[in-house]
Chains A and B, each alone.
With several copies, the nearest count.
Chain A
Amino acid sequence: MEVEIKIKLKEGISDPEGKNTKKALRLLGFEDVLDVHTLKTFRIKLDDSDEGDSVEEAKEMCKKLLANPVIHDYEIKVKK
Chain B
Amino acid sequence: MAKICVLRMEGTNCEWETFLAFKRLKGDAEFVHIKQILKESEEERFLEDYACVIIPGGFSSGDYVRAGAIFASRLSKLKKEIIEFIEEDKLLGGICNGFQVLVELGVLPGIGEALSEEKKAVLTVNDSNLFECRPTLLRHVNGGKCIFTRRYTKDKIVIFPSAHAEGKLVFGGEDTLEKMIENDQIVFRYTDSKGDYAGYPWNPNGSTYNIAGICNERGNVFGLMPHPERVFYSYTHPDWTRNSMGVYGDGMPLFKSILDYIDG
Q: Measuring CB to CB, which residues of chain A are less than 8 angstroms from any residue of chain B?
A: 13-14, 16-17, 19-21, 23-24, 27-28, 64-66, 68-71
Contacts and interface: CB of A to CB of B under 8 A. Distances in A.
B74 A24 contact: yes
B180 interface: no
Q: Looking at chain B, what size class is its interface with the partner chain? A: 20 to 34
Given A21-B64, A24-B65, A66-B65, A14 B119 contact: no
Interface in B125-180: 125-129, 170-172
Interface of A is mostly: helix
Interface in B89-147: 104, 118-122, 124-129
Contacts of B76: 64
A37 to B, nearest CB: 12
A35 to B, nearest CB: 15
Nearest to B61: A20
Contact of A16 (B64, B69, B171, B172): B64
Given A68-B104, A71-B122, A17 B73 contact: no
10 contacts: A21-B65, A23-B61, A24-B64, A24-B65, A24-B70, A27-B74, A65-B69, A68-B66, A69-B119, A71-B122
A10 to B, nearest CB: 10
A55 to B, nearest CB: 20
